[in-house]
Structure 1
């Protein structure tokens, strides 16, 4: 049974990380002493749920967490530093600290090291999240101890609900674009100037024209969606931003 250890100090561990071409030792004191930290742990970099849901939502909500008094958001996995660094690049998650628990020492100290032999992984972290205040665990959200890889309570929205139920979440913005499109460049610039983060789906790389037509009914770019609502192209985005001055809130 996976034990909730709220109120305990986190394990004292030295993490082997890689910065550029140099090794860098990072201690738990470096990461947690005098800070309020959100940490979420997952079974493995590049794995489906971790890459499509768990990490991306924390990445989207980093600024919201920091607005709630959080100093840092840490993603931990029992992977080596090379794997974690590459995953960080592919996920474009420069505002999250990726922590490689390569030997599993921290995860073992947390009581969260489990066998994933059935998947060929060996020892990995169970999926959980926690708030750590100055090295002391304030709150833990541990996935139920059942077969498979449950993902029910360690998500970013559950953590945010605990920290501040009234927190305003950032708008979910998607821009369909294509290389060399001047209107696409104008739309992206307008969003950045408004302080709005967005996901970009590039035709020819991330999707096809058929995909664009399927979701928007259009073949022209850009096509912009905000909170699931189709805004349209660059001109329609300008209209939206001019009449929604609070859009960047």
Structure 2
């Protein structure tokens, strides 16, 4: 039986040591290192590469991480009961650079939360139940635990629910998509602008069998890159630079966000 949110809120997170490989080097990371003196959003999930985790849970937190940080969050942490090699490769494949990935390989943290569950019927062994929480200085301030029912419920631990809890008036940035071509200097320019603005984007590369005909069908153009924000075509590198340029007379820091 899963614990209730009320039984966990106001309690300290488990004190454990995670065996991780940030930068592909072994390092012990303690609970205090992650949480002490910080405001941290945590989302925990059953496993790397699994459908809901890869298609929705991790990508949306990665997308909203800059907005969460703008609203007082110091770090966004993903905890999964996988080994560090799997976790690192999953982060690379998802391009989830805005997330601190923590492998709970032995399930110690998940067990300490009371949220380690038996998934042997799926061949998974023991895994974390799906949940998210806001942790302030090592204390669980708010936790959203998925309902205890069959399957893989994903109803309350999503990034948008967490953002609304932290700031109901926060406005998430519009999704950004770039169609790019390997080795294209104009694509590199556009990516540099988005990176400088802290904007997460989905890169649809020619490597993914996106040819010029597809690009033209989608954008009406035949030149790379083509950037879309919130479904609206912005254009190539020069158009992206112009879109994020400061308004006349405004300092550079006042350049408009992706909206």
- TM-score when scaled to structure 2? 0.84
User: 2:9 pairs with 3, 6, 9, which one?
Assistant: 6
In structure 1, distance between residues paired with 2:104 and 2:162: 22
Aligned residue number for residue 83 of structure 1: 86
**1:216: how far off?**
3.2
Question: Are the aligned partners of 1:195 and 1:248 in contact in 2 as well (CA < 8 Å)?
Answer: no
Distance in 1 between residues matched to 2:56 and 2:152, nearest whole Å: 13
Gap change, CA 1:247 and 1:24, over 3 Å in 2: closer
Q: Does 1:216 align with 2:219?
A: yes
> Which segment drifts farther, 218-227 or 17-26?
17-26
Counterparts in 2 of 1:147 and 1:225: CA distance versus 1, 3 Å: same
Deviation string for 1:193-244 (max 9, x for gaps)? 5554422211133644465355335444222210122233445545544697
Task: Single out whichever of 11-20 and 154-163 deviates more from structure 2.
Answer: 11-20
8 Å contact 1:177–1:200 — kept in the other structure?
yes
1:122 corresponds to which residue?
A: 125
Alignment partners' CA distance in 2, 1:183 and 1:54: 32
Q: Secondary structure at the match of 1:103?
A: coil
Measured at CA, do residues 67 and 186 of structure 1 come closer, stay the same or move farther in structure 2, by a change above 3 Å? closer
Long gaps (5+) in structure 2: 248-254
Q: Distance in 2 between matches of 1:11 and 1:80?
A: 19
Q: Quick check: 1:247 aligned with 2:250?
A: no
Shift of 1:18: 2.6
Matches within 5 A, 1:1-249: 1-3=1-3, 4=5, 5-20=8-23, 22-192=25-195, 196-205=199-208, 207-209=210-212, 211-234=214-237, 236-237=239-240, 240-241=243-244, 245-247=255-257
- Of 19-28 and 49-58, deviating more is 19-28
TM-aligned CA distance change 1:234 to 1:66, over 3 Å: closer
Query: Judging changes above 3 Å, is the alpha-carbon distance between structure 1 residues 234 and 45 closer, same or farther for their aligned structure 2 residues?
Result: same
Q: RMSD value over aligned CA atoms?
A: 2.5
Say if 1:92 and 1:194 are closer, same or farther in 2 by CA, change over 3 A: closer
Q: Deviations over 1:13-51 (max 9, x none)?
A: 121223456532222122112221111000101212111
* Length, aligned pairs only: 249
Indicate the larger mover: 81-90 or 53-62.
81-90
Give the Cα–Cα distance (whole angstroms) in 2 for the partners of residues 29 and 166 of structure 1: 31
Identify unmatched segments of 5+ residues in structure 1. none
2:250 aligns with: none
